[in-house]
Amino acid sequence: MPNFHSNRLAKEVVLRDPVHEYIHIEDQVILDILKTKEFQRMRRIKQLGPIAYVFPGATHTRFEHNLGVYELTRRICNIFAKKYPSRRSGDGLWDDNNRLLVECAGLLHDIGHGPYSHTFEHLFGTDHEKIGQKIIMDPSTDINRVLSQVSPNFPGLVASVIAKTYPNPQVVKMISSQADADRMDYLKRDAYFTGVTYGEFDLSRILQEIRPYSDGICFTMAGMHAVEDYIVSRYQMYQQVYFHRVGRSMEVILQHLLERAKIAYQQSNLPVTPSLAKFLAGNWDLTDYLKLDDGVMETNFSMWTKSSDPILADLSKRYLFRQPLASVCIDEETKSLLPKLKTLIKQAGFDPNYYTDTNSAFDEPYDAYKPSGKNANSQIEIMQNDGQLIELSQLSPLVRSLNGTLQGDERFFFPKVMMSNNLEPQIFDPLYQKFQRYVKNGTLRYIRKPKK
C-alpha cells in the first residue's frame, strides 16, 4: 500500500457543524476539494428533496452531509490509528497509510448526486454512484485535478473505494456498509433538521467500540447495545420520516411533472433552461449534469406554471405550492379495485396517468437491516472477547425481531378533491360518493354486500 499523503495545513481549518460540533480539516487536498466548483454544487442540492414539504427544517444539503461523512471517517481513522495500529502485514489491524484515501472517499461519496436524486435517476436513467466516479476520473473536473496532485493514480483509487472494488474491505466498509460513516451521519443529520428524535443514537459509544478486523469493520461486545439502538433508530426514521405519505405524494407529483415535461418538450416549444433541455432531449453529458441543481429545476417549474399544456402547468403548481395528492393503503387483495377507481378519477376530469400512482415504501432507497435471506445486505458483526465474530441479530432479540419483517406500506395516490369534505357541489355528485365508499380511515376496502 503506497503511503499517499497531502501537505498538512499550517493551521487546521475548523468548520462549525450543528451535528458534530466541529469538522476538522487538516490536509491541503481536503481543503482544495471543498473549494472545487463540483463540490460547491452540493450546497444547492437538498439532502432529502421533497421531504422538506413535510418537515420544514429539512432544507439541509448534500454539502454538509458529505462534510459530516468526512468528519466521521477522520475520527474513525484516529481511533483505529491509536487503538488498533497494524504491527505486521496481514494482522487484520489498521494501516494508517489508507487514511487520506478513505477520507477523500468519504468526502466525495455523494458527489454524483443530482437534484431529486432517486426520482431524477428513475426518469433519465442516471446513476449517482457511476456519475460520481466519472466526476472523480474525468480530467476536465477540478476534483480530478486536485486528487491527481496527490498521485496520478489517486483519483482511480478514490473512485474504486466508492465503487466498492478497492481490495481493502476496511476502507470500503468505513463508508459503505450497514453501520458506516455515511449512514451514521445522515441519520443524525436528518433527525436534527427534521426536528424528530427518532434518529438519535449513542454515536460516541459506537465510535468508542468500533474496531477493524481482517474482513472489514466490527464492534466490540461492549458496544452491542449502542449498535442495537442505532438499528432501532434507523427503523423509526424510515417509518416516520423517509416513508412519510405526504413526502411520497410530492415525489409522485415530481415524477409525473418531469414525465409530462419530457413529452411536452418533444411535442412543442416548451420553455426550458439549456442544461435541462439536454436531458429532456436525451443527449446530455457530464458538463450538462453538473449544471443541474435544485434551483435550476425550480426555475423551470416556475416557468411551466404558465405553460399552454394544462397538465404540466397544474403539476408544476402542485409541486411548487405544496398541493399533495391524497392516498390510501392498498394490499394484494384491494389492488384489483384500482382500475375501477382510476375510471372514476378519469370521469372527474383527471388523467390517471398523471394524477394517480401506486408507491411502495418497500422500494425506497433507505434499506433496512437484513443480514440473511432474499435481498440480504451486509452483516453487522460483534466481536466477542475471544475474537469470535457473531452477527448482531444472533445476539440481540430486538434486532432479530426486525430482521425480515415487512416495513412500510403500499399506497394508491389520487387527487384530494375525490375525498373533499368541503361543501362543494361535487361532493353531492354520485361519482364522488361512489369513490368515497371504497375508502375508509385511509385504507382501500371492498364493499361487502349484506348477507341475506
Distance set, CA 270 to CA 261, 279, 284, 308, 354 (Å): 8, 13, 17, 9, 18
* H or E, element range at 277: helix 274-281
Q: What are phi and psi of 391, to 5 degrees?
A: -65, 140
Which grid cell is 343?
A: 375510471
Specify the DSSP class assigned to residue 239: I
Query: Which of 338, 315, 340, 311 shows the shortest CA–CA distance to 327?
Result: 338
More confident residue, 376 or 372: 372
> What's the CA gap between 444 and 256, in Å, rounded?
23
Stretch 341-349: mean pLDDT: 94
> Backbone dihedral region of 216: left (phi > 0), alpha (psi from -120 to 50 degrees) or beta?
left
Per DSSP, the three-state class of 284 is: coil
Which grid cell is 75?
A: 475520527
> What's the CA gap between 359 and 381, in Å, rounded?
33
| 148 pLDDT higher than 70 | yes
| 362 pLDDT higher than 70 | no
Residue 341 neighbours by CB distance under 10 Å: 22
- Tens of pLDDT, residue by residue over 3-21, are 788 899 999 999 999 999 9
pLDDT at 373: 46
> What's the CA gap between 286 and 279, in Å, rounded?
11
Question: How far is it between the farthest Cα atoms of the chain?
Answer: 88
436 in Cβ contact with 265 (< 8 Å): no
| 167 pLDDT higher than 80 | yes
Query: Which of 175, 230, 231 shows the shortest CA–CA distance to 368?
Result: 231
Residue environment code for 268-280, b if the CB has 16+ CB neighbours within 10 A, otherwise e: eebebeebbbbbb
> What's the CA gap between 337 and 330, in Å, rounded?
9
The edge-to-edge listing of strands for the beta sheet with 326-330 is 357-360, 410-414, 326-330, 443-444, 439-440
> What's the CA gap between 218 and 94, in Å, rounded?
13
- Tens of pLDDT, residue by residue over 277-307, are 999 999 999 999 999 999 999 999 999 999 9
- Specify burial of residue 286 (Cβ count, 10 A radius: 0-12, 13-18, 19+): middle
Stretch 225-242: mean pLDDT: 92
Stretch 87-95: mean pLDDT: 92
Of 155-169, 189-203, 368-382, 398-412, the range with the lowest mean pLDDT is 368-382
Which grid cell is 311?
A: 397538465
| 68 pLDDT higher than 90 | yes
Residue 56 neighbours by CB distance under 10 Å: 10
Residues 6+ apart with CB under 8 A from 299: 273
Identify the structural domains of the chain with CATH numbers, from first to last.
8-243+368-403 (1.10.3210.10), 245-324 (1.20.1250.30), 327-365+409-452 (1.20.1250.30)
Antiparallel, parallel or unpaired: β 381-383 and 216-220: parallel
Query: Which of 444, 407, 421 shows the shortest CA–CA distance to 328?
Result: 444
> What's the CA gap between 184 and 254, in Å, rounded?
28
The verdict on pTM exceeding 0.85 is: yes
